């Protein structure tokens, strides 16, 4: 007797194709929660600037300072003395990073000086030149190198030494081309602040590496999230203060947009220069990433402090900080996109990271 033919099996349901726009945004890193958090922090600062400004009852300065110290303490826990020593020996990497930060940046600004005409143009150029003389960031540089899986010991060394060198080189550069009145005592207090906020936590972490290093390795993912939360708090409070003081009020949206394009161009030029030098010198993937993220950044924290010390009572302090604010925001957004993509690429190529 013939058996009845079983009915054909229905095909398994397939997932609906992903929206092309969403796929493109995800590939470019624009759907990363950290990047969305950065945009949200700026938007929130615009809506409620008083919450994160100096007038707020919340002790943001203490919170962010303690957060940065914890970041570097946990980085120290991940570093053995052997890794740190190996990172310090990489002198070619250190020369490239510090040369870009304190030589290439100011020289680019000097070359661009003929493009700025009139009183308003001269004031704007002075603001851009001031930006170019500043040291690299500390916390964000190291965080981005960590995310992109670069040379972390070398990143910590370069970010820290950049801040120390900036205490001397930023006043030197500005005294040559701008009218300043620096107070040496306050500059040394900035150096001491760097020591206890960055260097001492790293040293404490390294000393405890043998006992708690394995614990830190097991929880690297959680520590990375805590790093990013601290950065979001720093961005939120910085923009709250800027919006509360009305730094952007005297500029039309078109002026700010044009200046922002200029800052993107500056970032791209430096990024390309560092990448080319790194390839020419035969740097490893890890060293290229460290050079890229440590050499292309400028510190908003140091810039704000330096502006108050070098230009006390200056009426155009807002103008002085405007390019720095824009560059600071753009460098975090662009660098976070690149760092997230580089972490997924075996060669750490910025071209791949950019989605090309």
Over residues 95-151, the pLDDT tens digits come to: 999 999 999 999 999 999 998 877 677 878 888 999 999 988 877 788 888 888 888
Q: Please, what are the domains in the chain?
A: 57-348 (1.20.1530.20)
Count of C-beta atoms within a 10 Å radius of residue 308: 15
Q: Which residues contact 162 (CB under 8 A, 6 or more apart)?
A: 97, 98, 101, 102, 135, 136, 138, 294
Write out pLDDT tens, residues 181-199: 555 555 566 567 667 777 7
Residues in the chain: 356
Write out pLDDT tens, residues 207-223: 888 888 888 878 877 77
Q: Which residues contact 356 (CB under 8 A, 6 or more apart)?
A: none
Among the listed residues 137, 179, 164, the one whose alpha carbon sits nearest the alpha carbon of residue 294:
137
Token pair 């290439």 in the structure block, residue: 104
Q: What is the pTM of this model?
A: 0.66
pLDDT of residue 269: 93
Residue 356: pLDDT band (50, 70, 90) is very low
The number of CA neighbours under 13 Å toward the Cβ of 263 is: 27
């Amino acid at each position: 007797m013939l058996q009845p033919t079983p009915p054909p099996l229905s095909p398994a349901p397939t997932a609906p194709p992903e929206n092309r726009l969403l796929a493109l945004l995800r590939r470019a890193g624009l759907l990363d929660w950290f990047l969305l958090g950065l945009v949200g922090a700026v938007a929130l600062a615009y809506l409620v600037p008083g919450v994160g400004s100096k007038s707020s009852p919340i002790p943001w300065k203490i919170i962010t300072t303690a957060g940065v110290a914890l970041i570097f303490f946990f980085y120290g826990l991940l570093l053995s003395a052997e890794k740190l020593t190996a990172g310090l020996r990489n002198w070619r990497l250190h020369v490239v990073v510090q040369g870009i930060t304190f030589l290439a940046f100011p020289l680019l600004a000097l070359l661009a000086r003929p493009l700025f005409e009139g009183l308003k143009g001269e004031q704007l150029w002075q603001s851009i030149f001031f930006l170019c003389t500043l040291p690299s960031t500390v916390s964000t540089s190291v965080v981005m190198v960590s995310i992109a899986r670069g040379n972390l010991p070398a990143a910590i060394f370069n970010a820290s030494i950049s801040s120390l060198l900036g205490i001397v080189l930023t006043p030197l550069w500005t005294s040559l081309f701008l009218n300043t009145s620096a107070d040496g005592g306050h500059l040394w207090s900035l150096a001491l602040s760097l020591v206890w906020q960055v260097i001492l936590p790293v040293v404490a972490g390294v000393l405890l590496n043998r006992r708690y290093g394995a614990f830190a390795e097991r929880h690297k993912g959680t520590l990375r999230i805590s790093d990013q939360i601290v950065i979001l708090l720093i961005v939120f409070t910085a923009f709250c203060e800027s919006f509360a003081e009305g730094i952007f009020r005297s500029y039309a949206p078109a002026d700010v947009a044009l200046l922002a394009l200029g800052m993107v161009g500056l970032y791209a030029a430096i990024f390309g220069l560092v990448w080319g030098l790194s390839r020419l010198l035969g740097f490893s993937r890890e060293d290229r990433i460290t050079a890229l993220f440590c050499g292309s950044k400028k510190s908003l924290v140091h810039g704000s402090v330096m502006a108050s010390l070098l230009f006390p009572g200056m009426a155009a302090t807002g103008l002085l900080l405007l390019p720095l604010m824009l560059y600071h925001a753009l460098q975090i957004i662009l660098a976070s996109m690149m760092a997230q993509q580089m972490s997924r690429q075996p060669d750490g190529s910025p071209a791949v990271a950019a989605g090309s």
